[in-house]
Structure 1
Amino acid sequence: MERWIENHCNSQQILLVGEGDFSFSACLARAFGCATNMVATSLDSQASEWGKHWSCVSHLNDLRQRGCQVLHDVNVHDMHRHYFLSWKKFDVIIFNFPHAGHYPGFGESHPRVIDARVMLRPGGEIHVTTRDDYPYNTWHVDSPASSAGLFLTEKVWFEKSDYPGYHNRRGGDIDSNETFALGESYTFKFEAKPYCMY
């Protein structure tokens, strides 16, 4: 039986990148009842993850019990060459709040933040959720997407309450398990331009 939560359903092959405490992945898994269609990843190692986001432990346990593949040390810049991910294709790639931490030279405007089109199935989408109020809207998330061979198909309001149990966490080393203000947040949906499909 097909189960939906907002823009996502259990019949889609879903990749989540840059997860903080994995509460968003866990929210989807609970809504689906099973998470065998999902791969959830974090930039941090497992040990570092536990140190930064103590709240991740229960979410990781829940995900694994529901059949989700969980990977650590996955960098969005080269994840298409990752030993496990390189041979997989996805219907949806989700990247929530790419600039949740403080990494010099890396934010929503970085040209490789959403350079993952080679990992999409035909007709697949990349969903980037970010704030779209000042000063965050000056990053123009659609510009690096266009440079990466993607085009914006839809922009939808992101309502945190639509995702029960999700807690947006900071990604840096300062107050990393604290939430941050979401302001005017939207999910930007991108598809690969036809000539960029692989």
Structure 2
Amino acid sequence: MQRQYSNNQKILLVGEGDFSFSLSLARSFGSARNLTATSLDTREEVERKYMNGKASVEELERLGCNVVHGVNVHSMTNDFRLFGRYDRRIIYNFPHSGFGFRQEHEGYYITLHQALVKGFLKSAREMVKEEGGEIHVTHKTTHPYSEWKIETLAEDEGLFLMRQMEFNISKFPGYSNKKGSGNCCDASFPIGKSSTFMLKRNY
């Protein structure tokens, strides 16, 4: 497990697919009492779309995780189920608007993806702890994904890049990234060269 996460941190995870990343953290910690794992999908959608979705959610709940469904990253600051949380880490892995698969090089779809990330960053900035809090976005760094300009989007929302760390999926046993939409929603996609962008608030 990469050392940027620990069981002593209150961690909010958004945009989970089959919840395998959250479960990887929980298993490594031996507990999920400080984890809140969320998905845009409803619980029923998670169970229908992902072969391991139901089992992952149930194991997380047994380990003490607060699992919340139907969370929109653009409006999560107004979600009463998340009120009062000022998390040490807010994590969004491989954000994608759900449109333009295999067309990510087209400007129109890049704009859609950027809007998703920008809305997330705006919300996360309001929710992350001022002291020691970090927002983590894991994203591909090769073209055309580099055109999303994660660092620029962060700067526009009053955040700065503290560190960029190469993402090594083998450090998170059991994690399987998912497409999340379409007929192959439960399929993984090649992540290639990817990094975790670690962002902090400007004051």
Amino acid at match of 1:126: I
What residue in structure 1 maps to residue 187 of structure 2? Answer: 178
1:117 aligns with 2:117: no
Alignment of structure 1 residues 25-64 onto 2, 5 Å: 25-64=22-61
Q: Is the CA contact 2:89–2:128 (under 8 Å) kept in the aligned structure 1?
A: yes
What residue in structure 1 maps to residue 99 of structure 2? Answer: 102
Q: Is the CA contact 2:162–2:199 (under 8 Å) kept in the aligned structure 1?
A: yes
- RMSD (Å) for aligned C-alpha atoms: 1.6
1:70 aligns with 2:42: no
1:92 aligns with 2:89: yes
TM-aligned CA deviation for residue 106 of structure 1: 3.3
Between the aligned partners of 1:56 and 1:100, the Cα distance in structure 2 is 20
Instruction: Please report the TM-score for the alignment, with normalisation by the length of structure 2.
Output: 0.89
What residue in structure 1 maps to residue 77 of structure 2? Answer: 80
What residue in structure 2 maps to residue 129 of structure 1? Answer: 138
Between the aligned partners of 1:146 and 1:86, the Cα distance in structure 2 is 25
Amino acid at match of 1:192: R
Between the aligned partners of 1:146 and 1:96, the Cα distance in structure 2 is 19
TM-aligned CA deviation for residue 102 of structure 1: 2.4
Q: Which runs of 5+ in 2 are unaligned?
A: 101-108
Between the aligned partners of 2:201 and 2:186, the Cα distance in structure 1 is 34
Deviations 1:125-166 (A, max 9, x none): 000000000110011111111111111000000000000000
Deviations 1:73-98 (A, max 9, x none): 00000101111212211000000000
Between the aligned partners of 2:184 and 2:202, the Cα distance in structure 1 is 39
TM-aligned CA deviation for residue 15 of structure 1: 0.1
Amino acid at match of 1:121: K
More helix by share: 2
What residue in structure 1 maps to residue 154 of structure 2? Answer: 145
Determine what percentage of the aligned residue pairs are the same residue: 39
SS in 2 for 1:8: coil
More strand by share: 1
Between the aligned partners of 1:155 and 1:65, the Cα distance in structure 2 is 33
Between the aligned partners of 2:115 and 2:197, the Cα distance in structure 1 is 13
Instruction: Please report the TM-score for the alignment, with normalisation by the length of structure 1.
Output: 0.91
